[in-house]
Chains A and B, each alone.
Chain A
Amino acid sequence: MNKWKQALGNSCYENKRDKRNRNLAIGVYLLWIAAFVVSHLSIKKGWILDPWAIWALVLGTLGLGIAMFQTYRRFLIHADELTRKIELESLAFAFGVGLLLGVTAWLLETAGIEIFKSSFIITITAMLLTYSISLVINSWRMQ
């Protein structure tokens, strides 16, 4: 029980440097998600019609995405080696599951069988869920 509690609390990140870098990566990630949602809604709902403003939104979101990638990369480079192993295993597993589900959903779409609304959404959702679950399981395994 204690192992699960520690795993759910991501106790591998007790190192102050890792905590700070991880929190920064999560902060930039949330900013990127917010920028993506605002940009998507602004373009889809027609709140912004000026092509230059649309370009600015898209490039701003892309810039935040690059910043997110860099902060996460920095976190991984400087992370405690057990933390890095857990993160990389979880990322690899999430990538594999996302790729398989995404390609399968895309094939079904091509065949005219629509189980999911969009293969893109199912891929992203599967990757995020698998990554989160893998983090907890891998942290538990290493306790």
Chain B
Amino acid sequence: MRNRLKVLRAEHNWTQADLAQRLDVSRQTVNAIEKGKFDPSLPLAFRVARLFNLKIEEIFFDDEPG
């Protein structure tokens, strides 16, 4: 699953550690999500969406066609 987390974080001038603290996860979790190595759980995806005041589908994109 692809995502815009890195771009959104950069827009807010936050480090991975800043974002991790705001989401109550480890910095490694933020790093793994940004690199697409780890898909967040639905509750975490909602937390991310709330934090950036966006919809989940505006941050995370399904790789599968159609």
A4 nearest CB across to chain B (Å): 14
Interface size bracket, B side: 10 to 19
Number of A positions contacting B (CB below 8 A): 15
Is there an interface contact between B44 and A142, defined as CB atoms closer than 8 Å? no
A132 within 8 A of B: no
Interface of A: prevailing SS: helix
- Which residues on the A side are within 8 Å of B29 (C-beta)? 12, 80-83
- Which residues on the A side are within 8 Å of B27 (C-beta)? 14
B4 within 8 A of A: no
Partner of A12, one of B28, B37, B40, B44: B28
A87 within 8 A of B: no
Q: Which B residues have a C-beta under 8 Å from some C-beta of A?
A: 25-29, 31-32, 37-38, 40-41, 44
Q: Which A residues have a C-beta under 8 Å from some C-beta of B?
A: 6, 11-15, 18, 80-83, 85, 141-143
